[in-house]
A and B are shown apart, each in its own frame.
Chain A
Amino acid sequence: MGKITNEELLKKIGDQFPDQFTVIGEPFGLLTIETTRENITAILSFLKADAVLQFIYLTDITGIHFPGAERQIGVIYHLHSLVNNVRIRLKVFLNDGDVHIPTATTIWDGANWMERETYDLFGVIFDGHPDLRRILNVDDMTAFPMRKEFPLEDPNRVDKKDYFFGR
């Protein structure tokens, strides 16, 4: 099984997309890059279609929320090249209030529910998604519960204050 090092991987992406992404690091050997929503579809398609890299397997799409940051909402993609046995993580951060990002369902059918889950929990709107509805929560819910401002428990309850639990 031929394995590609992160340097080679980075060079290949860099040759194709100069200055269109930044490297965040390699936590635990997993190359992590950040890009913008304008470039994400092109980069994902390239990673999947490239004859050497062959990132044909979409492991996961999920979101993250950093309140107070300039771009609060993050969308995180994990891809896996089964042939080379190497993974890559891509991140796109979006401004709150303009949480639009192109869908990945045009590249992988499996992205459908992953994006619906991310929409349901974080409110990220995947433009071009064929069926962007809530998936885990009820349809008439108005909040996006995985955002940090959404309290885990009813804030009006008096019997479950954090200080009772040392939190």
Chain B
Amino acid sequence: MQNHPVFTDNDPQSELSTLNLGPTHPATHGVFQNVLQLDGERIVSGVSTIGYIHRAFEKIAEHRPFYQITPLTDRLNYCSSPINNMGWHMTVEKLLGIETPKRVDYLRIIIMELSRITDHIICNSVLGVDTGATAGFFYMMEYREHVYEIYEEVCGSRLTTNIGRIGGFERNFNSIAFAKLRKFLKDFPAVLREFEGLLKRNRIFVDRTKDVAAVPAEVALNYSWSGPILRATGVDYDVRAMNPYCSYEDFEFEVPVGSNGDVYNRFLVRQEEMWQSLRLIEQALAKVDKEPADIFHADVPDFYLPPKEDVYNNMEALIYHFKIVMGEVPTPTTEVYHSVEGGNGELGFYLVNDGGRSPYRLHFRRPSFINYQMYAPMSRGMLLSDAIINMSSLNVIAGELDA
């Protein structure tokens, strides 16, 4: 019970009341507990309790070979698992000095931008639900399904994707994947535009979100915010633009920024990022067409598992397979920090390696964890209904919060 704040206020005249918001509450979209002290509908103070779904991923990662850590990263931000997967692959590739072919980079960008779109679909359409517009949510969710169908063609699964391998992809994109992708690119802009029309100039929505939870840029930086919510305050920090990885430097895209960091600005930034993601995917598709169609992984037999039929019929492939699975490939003893722009901000992997098959220490810099710590302080003085909207626009994902 130490975790719960003890309010020693026994004065019956006091009008402050204590409210347990969460850990399970339909308005919090995840396992978040905030013990709030309310004066009427206004929040006087709050204490966040997290860790309800802490699964000790960092500890588990110390006992798993590199390629078995990918499924752990799935379960961080499960609204955009592929970004986590590929961020992890790129970290290991950086450690091992693997250069990936351009086609692999472009295919990765397609998948990562698709998952950025799904991530922002969730956040923005749920923001609509929390302000009372359910229709937009169902309309947009259909298109998340279509993205998941593309994942299915590429990796076989939908939510926790485990997509790709160290060095590239486990299999090439098939023609169905490309067809579905092109169909998505054709259909989605009209839907996104209509969704935007539903909320962007909607009086109810604007009244509920404008100037709610406005955050100055200095405060956001002081709290180490990153991602769309930082950009909504006017800071143009995007890892893709500042420290390009995975050939993002070959692409033309804009980093949208807001002005005062309120919920409405965050909504607009996410909307614009979806448009930019579509632009990136279009460019990537055009670039993929110019690359040799049969390349989908780097030529690193020491780390990339050979196809099964080769393992059974070819001695060299069998040797590589054995060495990878038994962890007999030496790796450099060093440390590496690699970060990617996740759905919620800078997703960093700090990997300390001692030359073995599994990390000596792996730390995830989880944007949700770092973004969420300002929630209780910033809720002070806010109306309870605004605090709910504020939480959904922070887009804190419980899996990433607790790791």
Q: Are A113 and B336 in contact (CB under 8 A)?
A: no
Q: Are B59 and A27 in contact (CB under 8 A)?
A: no
Which one of A8-16, A39-47, A93-101, A131-139 contacts B?
A131-139
Q: State A110–B237 Cα separation when bound (angstroms).
A: 17
Q: Are A135 and B222 in contact (CB under 8 A)?
A: no
Q: B306-350: which have CB < 8 Å to A? A: 326-327, 334-337, 339, 346, 348, 350
For the complex with contacts A64-B360, A113-B370, A134-B51, 12 further pairs of A-B residues with Cβ separation under 8 Å are A59-B339, A59-B346, A60-B348, A62-B363, A64-B361, A78-B337, A109-B223, A109-B377, A146-B58, A152-B56, A152-B60, A167-B63
Inter-chain contacts of B350 with A (CB < 8 A):
60, 62, 76, 78
Q: Are B222 and A109 in contact (CB under 8 A)?
A: yes
Q: Sample 6 A-B pairs with CB under 8 A, ordered by A number.
A: A60-B348, A78-B350, A110-B224, A110-B370, A137-B51, A152-B63
Nearest residue in B to A153 (C-beta to C-beta)? B63
- Confirm or deny: B243 has a beta carbon within 8 angstroms of a beta carbon on chain A: yes
Q: State A76–B363 Cα separation when bound (angstroms).
A: 11
Total residues of chain B contacting the partner, CB 8 A:
44
Q: Are A112 and B221 in contact (CB under 8 A)?
A: no
Contact with B51, one of A30, A64, A136 (Cβ below 8 angstroms): A136
Min Cβ gap A102→B in Å is 18
Interface size class of A (residues with CB under 8 A): 35 or more
Inter-chain contacts of A87 with B (CB < 8 A):
337
- Confirm or deny: B2 has a beta carbon within 8 angstroms of a beta carbon on chain A: yes
Q: State A108–B361 Cα separation when bound (angstroms).
A: 25
Q: Are B402 and A136 in contact (CB under 8 A)?
A: yes
- Confirm or deny: B18 has a beta carbon within 8 angstroms of a beta carbon on chain A: no
Inter-chain contacts of B369 with A (CB < 8 A):
113, 117
Q: B215-252: which have CB < 8 Å to A? A: 219, 221-225, 235, 237, 242-243
Min Cβ gap A106→B in Å is 12
Q: B343-372: which have CB < 8 Å to A? A: 346, 348, 350, 352, 360-361, 363, 365, 369-370
